[in-house]
Structure 1
């Protein structure tokens, strides 16, 4: 539970409320509720999958069990892309917050004026990444113990912030100021989701990714996912209420485009100072380091276990699928470190990658509902310690919800994710050609036939739609666009389930995973 909660409470809590309010105003509260509902449905789906199939790198392996190698690689590659990018982004968030302190700015010189890392900043960022790597190499026990300490801190600080702001500085009129409760209408509520809201609440699946190393995964994985999701949602809703209520009413007279001092990277620290709680500002700057760093620590572990899963299935070089005597995927952890270091170069700040990560995460999450429906159909006798309620409703609804998040992210982001997926298939082809023919798993082309039309269809709808920062045509009318996404999603969902591998092949794949888990 702490592994999942530690991923949910990262840099998103410090920045998500501000970015959401600038787009949706007070109706950003609806954005958080909507995101919580969407992600809760997906969390329940992951809870059943994680309890029934508790293997490391689960998001890569669930689609592989149901649809074969190509589907497993696609889901795993997208999951790895978003996971490997989050650790360096969280590190950058930590350094950017610390750079707001005069002493740090003067003596350490972490950032250039444009927000990019200096040589000193890159060195400190590399040191943090190296620390995350060492903790993960030692093993999941040390990872969970070190993460537990930071999660207790990470949960307490937001709750203390809420209590202080609500008691010292709360203006109820702010919830109807600057154009009313929903100044940008429904469009603003939906547009806020990929601008930090979904990003902040994601991470519940981390318990699933590390389920293979849990002591009693069949019992604990589902409980961990559900509990972490509930706690995270409550904390984020309280934070948004405290943020909106603590703003200076005068700053909202002209709308929500700039509700707080321009350039205030840590908005809660600014509000605490205005409320006369200067001590809280220092606590928040400390937390601005601890929260992102704790999340980065977890995601180094997550990304390494995803590449491990892909290596085990011969979808990436086989060395990535080997474990040390401690049961740790050493080469996969080192790969996450190297790629994380490279990511510091093209993505110099927190905001530059949030939408990309959100879109990739939504694609990753979308594989879970179709995998669950297919596995229930093809592997009905599997013990399921946790069972999803109303699966015939929640599974297709979860798939449609994930596709809506992809759509709301916008065409300008979606097409870039598609390029990254194509690049991944080049690596997949190289790995396959360098694997002895007798060790290559069958591709199951028929079972994966739905993936390309799905991804291309999402990209086309985004191109014709009305969300994003450019490149789209705005041809689909409001609300009609959402109906198009939902109908398209349902068609793909039921087609995909019908194309799942035959029952005997699914059971054979499950037996291989069960044998590995027993070892």
Structure 2
């Protein structure tokens, strides 16, 4: 798409905007809860920290692959674009079918509900307000994004700063508690036995907590000087996330100890309680509410761009492919995604939908990164503004890791994995009917 057309996006996002999108897309509620799950499956702080470092390095390898893909094809739509060019319209449609219509709105509904839960706790509202607050948050975020990427970026930058402030608060509390307790980081937890091979099960939640780095590629059509900005923003944002995650886990270990972390249901709130008492949980509830709200903002903006690209391609209703000529925003796609996320929120069915589409999401990542091999072969003589270092090792390692995650997920939850494949397969007759209907219309 060209920038001078009234029906195209405008490139308004800079490096710091992009880095904020990466940070906001990755850091949601996971880092405030998942470390307890990882501690349950490790014997001491050292292997726990190693897993977070390994997960971060593996994710960074994927981010570098996305940086080259985004630099080669700086258009809205992300993985959908790469799959369409490399493997054809059917795989692209199946990805869009699974993600834009199920996973994205499902994740928005789930995280908006988490936001509402913590927000209501912070202001002492009864549980009956959780769903109305979640619906209001989704409607508000979609409404702000109606006025273009600049308005959405301002909101996103603000909430990224607030979620980073919550992380910094945890680090400060950990430092205050650090006097004489740094041995907790290396102490062996003798309270429970860890079976051999448990580290694989511990790596899974780590990798899931690092997910969400792809949203910037969904919005690549609005990044200024994308060949330079995308790689810088992706790398800067992801390195920031890895550093935050490792430091927060050190703070948990110092303040709670490995056994205390493994036994905790809400480690962030428990850590805050050591300094602030019962009000510490309230302070952390505000921080988690800001973090989850920021994630919803990115997921709605990114998912709407995928829907809009599908509509413009004729893979969804043409009206969804419309870009408002004044605000340069996919307003119809935003409305569709927002309304569908609200329906899922009110129905309460989003949790199971997310479980069902987890395998589909990771398959999308695997095939998305695999397109890099196609681009390198197809355009061997074409210079790329950014090239993945250590090619083909890094994309190969990332694809193998993702496939390993899929296999481990299928073994752990075979029912959910099977339903994920069924949902993807249901896209086949939908695709055939859609193409037939489009052919009839054209005739």
TM-score if structure 1 supplies the norm length?
A: 0.74
Q: How far 1:37 moved relative to its partner? A: 2.2
The 5-angstrom pairing of residues 148-167 of structure 1 reads 148-167=157-176
Assess if the C-alpha contact under 8 Å between 1:89 and 1:353 holds in 2.
no
In structure 2, the partner of 1:376 is: 376
Q: Which of 145, 165, 183 pairs up with 1:136?
A: 145
In structure 1, the partner of 2:435 is: 432
Counterparts in 2 of 1:109 and 1:138: CA distance versus 1, 3 Å: same
Assess if the C-alpha contact under 8 Å between 2:116 and 2:131 holds in 1.
no
Assess if the C-alpha contact under 8 Å between 1:194 and 1:354 holds in 2.
no
Assess if the C-alpha contact under 8 Å between 1:84 and 1:336 holds in 2.
yes
Q: Which of 204, 211, 221 pairs up with 1:212?
A: 221
Aligned residues: 416
Counterparts in 2 of 1:166 and 1:151: CA distance versus 1, 3 Å: same
SS in 2 for 1:391: coil
The 5-angstrom pairing of residues 116-265 of structure 1 reads 118=128, 120-168=129-177, 170=181, 172-173=183-184, 175-179=186-190, 183-185=193-195, 187-195=197-205, 197-247=206-256, 259-260=263-264, 264=265
Cα deviations by residue, 1:297-343 (Å, 9 ceiling, x for unpaired): 11011111111122222222222222111322222111211221232
Assess if the C-alpha contact under 8 Å between 1:79 and 1:361 holds in 2.
yes
Q: How far 1:53 moved relative to its partner? A: 0.3
The 5-angstrom pairing of residues 89-104 of structure 1 reads 89-101=110-122, 104=124
Assess if the C-alpha contact under 8 Å between 1:194 and 1:355 holds in 2.
no
In structure 1, the partner of 2:40 is: 22
Counterparts in 2 of 1:243 and 1:7: CA distance versus 1, 3 Å: same
Bigger mean CA deviation after superposition, 273-282 or 145-154: 273-282
Counterparts in 2 of 1:186 and 1:93: CA distance versus 1, 3 Å: farther
In structure 2, the partner of 1:361 is: 361
In structure 1, the partner of 2:3 is: none
Q: Which of 412, 417, 430 pairs up with 1:414?
A: 417
Bigger mean CA deviation after superposition, 33-42 or 231-240: 33-42
In structure 1, the partner of 2:7 is: none
CA RMSD of aligned residues (A): 2.6
The 5-angstrom pairing of residues 301-312 of structure 1 reads 301-312=301-312
In structure 2, the partner of 1:468 is: none
Unmatched 5+ residue regions in structure 1?
Answer: 111-117, 441-519
Assess if the C-alpha contact under 8 Å between 2:23 and 2:160 holds in 1.
yes
In structure 1, the partner of 2:394 is: 394
Cα deviations by residue, 1:55-89 (Å, 9 ceiling, x for unpaired): 10111010111111112223333432332222111
SS in 2 for 1:24: coil
SS in 1 for 2:339: helix
In structure 2, the partner of 1:109 is: 126
Cα deviations by residue, 1:459-511 (Å, 9 ceiling, x for unpaired): xxxxxxxxxxxxxxxxxxxxxxxxxxxxxxxxxxxxxxxxxxxxxxxxxxxxx
How far apart in 1 are the matches of 2:239 and 2:190?
Answer: 32
Q: How far 1:289 moved relative to its partner? A: 1.0
Bigger mean CA deviation after superposition, 55-64 or 200-209: 200-209
Assess if the C-alpha contact under 8 Å between 1:355 and 1:409 holds in 2.
no
In structure 2, the partner of 1:55 is: 75
Bigger mean CA deviation after superposition, 215-224 or 373-382: 373-382
Bigger mean CA deviation after superposition, 371-380 or 226-235: 371-380
How far apart in 1 are the matches of 2:56 and 2:356?
Answer: 20
Q: How far 1:189 moved relative to its partner? A: 1.9
Q: How far 1:383 moved relative to its partner? A: 4.1
Q: How far 1:147 moved relative to its partner? A: 0.6
SS in 2 for 1:10: coil
In structure 2, the partner of 1:497 is: none
How far apart in 2 are the matches of 1:199 and 1:339?
Answer: 24
Counterparts in 2 of 1:88 and 1:424: CA distance versus 1, 3 Å: same
Cα deviations by residue, 1:127-154 (Å, 9 ceiling, x for unpaired): 0010111012111111111111111121
How far apart in 2 are the matches of 1:324 and 1:240?
Answer: 44
State the structure with bigger RCO (CA 8 A, min sep 6), 1 or 2.
2
Q: How far 1:428 moved relative to its partner? A: 2.3
The 5-angstrom pairing of residues 434-473 of structure 1 reads 434-436=437-439
SS in 2 for 1:434: helix
Unmatched 5+ residue regions in structure 2?
Answer: 1-18
In structure 2, the partner of 1:480 is: none
